Amino acid sequence: MDARTHETRLRIERIRDALTAAGAQAVLVPSADPHLSEYLPGRWQGREWLSGFTGSVGSLVVTQDKAALFADSRYWAQAEAQLAGSGIQLEKMNSGASTIYIDWIAAELKTGDTLAVDGQVLGLSLANALRAGLARKGVKLRTDADLLADAWDDRPGLPTEAVYEHLPPQAAVARADKLARVRAAMAATGASHHLVSTVDDVAWLLNLRGADVECNPVFIAHLLLDATGGRLFIADGKVPSDVVGRLAADGIQLAPYAQAAAALAALPTDATLLVDPRRITLGLREAVPAGVKVIEQINPSTLLKSRKSAAEAVFIREAMAEDGAAMCEFYAEFEASLARGERWSELDIDTRLSACRSRRKDFVGLSFSTIAGWMANGALPHYRATPESFAHIAGNGLLLIDSGGQYLGGTTDITRVWPIGAVSAEQKRDYTLVLKGTIALSRTRFPRGTLSPMLDAIARAPLWEHGLDYGHGTGHGVGYFLNVHEGPQSISKAIPDATMAMEPGMITSIEPGLYRPGLWGVRIENLVLNVAIATPENNAFGEMLAFETLTLCPIATSCIDLSLMRADEIAWLNDYHATVRERLQPLVSGAALAWLLAGTEPIRA
């Protein structure tokens, strides 16, 4: 047993001791913080600390004699490796939104037993599902105890990084205007108050950014708005004095982070509070007095920030061009180095690609940890090389690189697969089918208001035709110098709801994939912008939208099996490469320019 696994077993025993002390028979440790963030500050990475599993999504359940980690297919291989020898069993879920662990808990516990979960990090929607699922078995839910507080001696404190303003010209919409739009939405529902807890909503609404979460320019805070002002609940000392003054000019006062629940408890009984049940924790919801009317619907800011303005789109296109230029510089260096016989590892790719991005205009940082997966590692959708475990690029095969940057004018996310040496016919077939899926969805036109999950099958159809599929979604929303994953739209197998309607200005990824466990993986990803278009019928059947492809980087053509490509698909790819060449040529020179020109040569069947 290695030291890490041994430590995991010790930590599980400590949480069992805390269970006994609390009089509970099981504990649920979700991947969540008080803001229900996807990526967590160190203080709330309890699931990772307890289990050793480093994936961004997953839930851990510990009873007195069992421990189980629930993860979806993106993480199965990773989880199996990281849990080996820990005594924690992997329970495979069909999707990250699955709650099969509720049924597992109900089956493991007896009538009268208690499940403990920290209500301060338990989403309201999940809490309702837990209560309903456990009630059928007569299992009690306890949410007033944080068992990690007793078991985790060296638990990190709150982040202390300073907050800063996102300024014009990139901050193209003023804070006062955003606040006015949200208050108008509040008024339309009859709400006198509105609590915003999701950190990207808070950052967007106040034109502030931070560094409390790796790769996401956000900060830990809650915001309580009323008809004329608001309070930002944030740790002392994080907001510079000049920013405090400008916030005050827009009616926003600062309050200690820990006082958010008390402020809710102090709401007058004639208040009407707007909350998003998917974006508020049970702990905060239970702080609201019984006499206060509560309206549950999506945060207005979530909808507003998903629809980028025309002025923001200008900066996004500039950021995409800077990012594409960085990619050209990197790939030119990479291929020339390999040709000289120099040795590269997956870690080298991360380091040197990040260095290329760091030299580009308005670059702030990475938008997520770079995924550089050689061959079998590319079959792990959320793989990340570490100093303890990585591969060297050697021999023949496919290299998958999924990476992105944060720029003052936008957030990027791009995946490319590159042939190294000779590529087999099977690899070319997989690559081409994925590319056909990317092209199919990129070319799609659809009525405004189409629910985004309805588009998912378009990208899968070329794979389905051959009996193939992939386990992750096809596309996620992307923020504006914010989180690389945002809602409400999701091109996936998710059950649609009205908030997922596609609207002009939304930025979404298109990233079908195909993974051969233990062999190789393929994923080809671009970001696209929803744009309104005219039609031959002059939109007589309603406004139509199309995708403008934003990402600018050549797609490897030497991997393509041209016998599988139609003429119209080849035409789309040639048109895309012509655009890439035109947009990036002024930004690169020397070897990077030569690489760009070679990579954007038109292909012919």
Residue 525 has pLDDT above 60, yes or no: yes
Greater confidence (5 vs 351) lies with 351
Q: How many CA atoms lie within 13 A of 261 on its CB side?
A: 12
**75, 114 Cβ separation under 8 angstroms:** no
Q: Check residue 98 and give its pLDDT.
A: 65
Q: pLDDT at position 95, please?
A: 62
Domain assignment of residue 556, yes or no: yes
145 and 193: one domain?
no
Query: How far is it, in rounded angstroms, from Cα 52 to Cα 47?
Result: 8
- Residue-wise pLDDT tens digits, 179-224: 999 999 999 999 999 999 999 999 999 999 999 999 999 999 999 9
Residue 406 lies in a domain: yes
- What tens digit of pLDDT does each residue of 6-34 get? 788 889 999 999 999 999 999 999 999 99
Q: How many alpha carbons lie under 13 Å from residue 603 in its C-beta half-sphere?
A: 25
Q: Which residue has the higher pLDDT, 257 or 388?
A: 257
Give the residue from 91, 74, 95 showing the smallest Cα distance to 379: 74
Q: pLDDT, tens digit, for every residue of 43-88? A: 999 999 999 998 888 899 999 999 999 988 778 878 888 888 888 9
pLDDT band at 382 (very low <50, low <70, confident <90, very high): confident
- Quote the pLDDT of residue 535: 81
> What is the Cα–Cα distance from 486 to 479, expressed in whole angstroms?
6
CATH of the domain at 471: 3.90.230.10
3-state secondary structure 491-513: ECCCCCCHHHECCCCCEEEECCE
Q: Is residue 118 part of a domain?
A: yes
365: tokens are 């940082």
291 and 326 in a single domain? The answer is no
Please, what's the largest Cα pairwise distance for the chain? 74
Q: Report the CATH number that the domain containing residue 253 is assigned in CATH.
A: 3.40.350.10
Domain shared by 523 and 429, yes or no: yes
186 belongs to a structural domain: yes
Across-strand partners of 527? 509
Regarding whether 141 and 60 lie in a shared domain, the answer is yes
Confidence band for 340, pLDDT divided at 50, 70 and 90: very high
What pLDDT shows up at residue 1? 43
147 and 230 share one domain: no
Residues facing 490 on adjacent strands: 476
- Report CA 33 to chain centroid distance, whole Å: 15
| Total count of domains within the chain | 3
Overall average pLDDT of the 571-591 stretch: 98
Encode pLDDT of 424-435 as tens digits. Answer: 999 999 999 999
What's the chain's average pLDDT? 94
537 pLDDT tier (thresholds 50, 70, 90): confident
The CA distance from 193 to 268, in Å, is: 10
Check whether residue 342 and residue 266 sit in a common domain. Answer: no
Residue 264 belongs to some domain of the structure: yes
Average pLDDT of the residues in 544-565: 97
- Asked if 355 and 262 sit in the same domain, the reply is no
Q: Are residues 113 and 57 in the same domain?
A: yes
* Residues 193 and 292 occupy one common structural domain: yes
User: Are 261 and 287 spatial neighbours (Cβ–Cβ below 8 Å)?
Assistant: yes
Q: Each residue of 219-247: pLDDT tens digit?
A: 999 999 999 999 999 999 999 999 999 99
Q: How many CA atoms lie within 13 A of 554 on its CB side?
A: 26
How large a percentage of the chain has pLDDT more than 90?
84
Q: Would you say residue 604 lies in a domain?
A: no
End-to-end CA, the chain: 55
Instruction: Provide mean pLDDT across the span 451-476.
Output: 97
Full residue range of the structural domain in which residue 41 is found: 3-151
* pLDDT at residue 2 greater than cutoff 80: no
Q: For residue range 125-172, what is the model confidence (pLDDT) as tens digits?
A: 889 889 999 988 899 999 998 999 888 989 999 999 999 999 999 999
Convert the pLDDT of each residue in 89-115 to its tens digit. Answer: 999 887 656 678 888 999 999 999 999
The secondary structure of residue 279, as a DSSP letter, is: S
- What's the one-letter identity of residue 224? L
pLDDT of 605 > 80? The answer is no
Tell whether the model's pLDDT for residue 357 goes beyond 80.
yes
Closest by CA position to 360, among listed 410, 414, 418: 410
**pLDDT of amino acid 590:** 97
Residue written as token pair 């047993």: 1
Q: Tell whether 501 and 540 lie within a shared domain.
A: yes
- pTM of the complete model: 0.92
Which of 125, 151, 177 lies at the terminal end of a domain, its last residue? 151
Comparing 379-393, 449-463, 566-580, the range with the smallest average pLDDT is 379-393
Q: How confident is the model at residue 5 (pLDDT cuts 50, 70, 90)?
A: low
Q: State whether 401 and 456 are in the same domain.
A: yes
Copy the structure tokens of residue 285.
């919801």
Q: Whose CA is closest to 420, among 518, 356, 344?
A: 344
Dihedral sign from CA coordinates of 215, 217, 221, 223:
negative
Q: From 265, 300, 335, give the residue that closes a domain.
A: 300
Q: Is residue 157 part of a domain?
A: no
Domain finish residue from 151, 180, 212: 151
Report whether 515 contacts 381 (CB < 8 A).
yes
276 and 314 share one domain: no
Q: What is the pLDDT of residues 386-420, one digit of tens each?
A: 888 899 999 999 999 999 999 999 999 999 999 99
Is 159 part of any domain? no
Arithmetic mean of pLDDT, 241-254: 97
Q: How confident is the model at residue 383 (pLDDT cuts 50, 70, 90)?
A: confident
